């Protein structure tokens, strides 16, 4: 038997500010003990600072635009995700988010696990 409760909803203009990373606006829709759901937006050509998400995995969906995630030694590796695409950033992976297009970007994220949402860094090792 399922637990009693109710379905919650949040309007797109009622999200709350999330942990900042330069270049990316993050807004939280839901924050529970095991997961955080948020929207991330970036202007054309923007890139975030280098960061990781501690012990949390990030699962995402590109609603609008495209995304590139730079990572690895010296930040020399990357993965491109087109509009409508899904992605996974493993826990602890040092990376930065890039909007490679000349249009705004919008992404929906589920950050799963415990600990800080964002740990900002100066850059990846091996630069």
Q: What is the pLDDT of residue 1?
A: 57
Would residue 86 count as lying in a domain? Answer: yes
Would residue 41 count as lying in a domain? Answer: yes
Q: What is the pLDDT of residue 24?
A: 83
- pTM of the predicted model as reported, rounded to 2 decimal places: 0.89
Q: In what order do the strands lie in the sheet with 95-98?
A: 77-81, 67-71, 95-98, 51-52, 119-120
Would residue 12 count as lying in a domain? Answer: no
Helix H segments across the chain?
Answer: none
Would residue 91 count as lying in a domain? Answer: yes
The string of pLDDT tens digits covering residues 11-43 is: 999 999 987 777 789 999 999 999 999 999 999
Instruction: Find, among 94, 100, 96, the residue nearest to 124 by Cα.
Output: 94
- In the chain, the percentage of residues whose pLDDT exceeds 90 is 80
Would residue 45 count as lying in a domain? Answer: yes
8 A C-beta contact, residue 75 and residue 123: yes
Q: Containing domain of residue 67, as a range? A: 24-120
Higher-confidence residue of 126 and 97: namely: 97
CATH code (residue 115): 2.60.120.10
Residue 18 DSSP one-character state: -
Would residue 125 count as lying in a domain? Answer: no
Q: What is the pLDDT of residue 124?
A: 85
Would residue 4 count as lying in a domain? Answer: no
Would residue 55 count as lying in a domain? Answer: yes
- In the chain, the percentage of residues whose pLDDT exceeds 70 is 96
Structural domains of the chain, count: 1
């Amino acid at each position: 038997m399922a637990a009693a409760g109710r379905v919650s909803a949040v309007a797109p203009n009622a999200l709350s500010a999330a942990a900042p990373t330069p270049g990316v606006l993050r807004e939280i829709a839901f924050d529970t003990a095991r997961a955080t759901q948020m929207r991330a937006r970036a202007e054309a050509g923007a890139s975030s600072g280098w960061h990781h998400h501690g012990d949390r995995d990030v699962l995402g969906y590109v609603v609008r635009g495209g995304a590139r995630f730079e990572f690895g030694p010296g930040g020399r590796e990357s993965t491109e995700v087109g509009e409508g695409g899904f992605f996974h950033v493993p826990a602890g992976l040092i990376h930065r988010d890039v909007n490679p297009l000349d249009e705004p970007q919008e992404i929906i994220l589920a950050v799963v696990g415990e600990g800080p949402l964002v740990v900002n860094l100066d850059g990846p090792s091996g630069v």
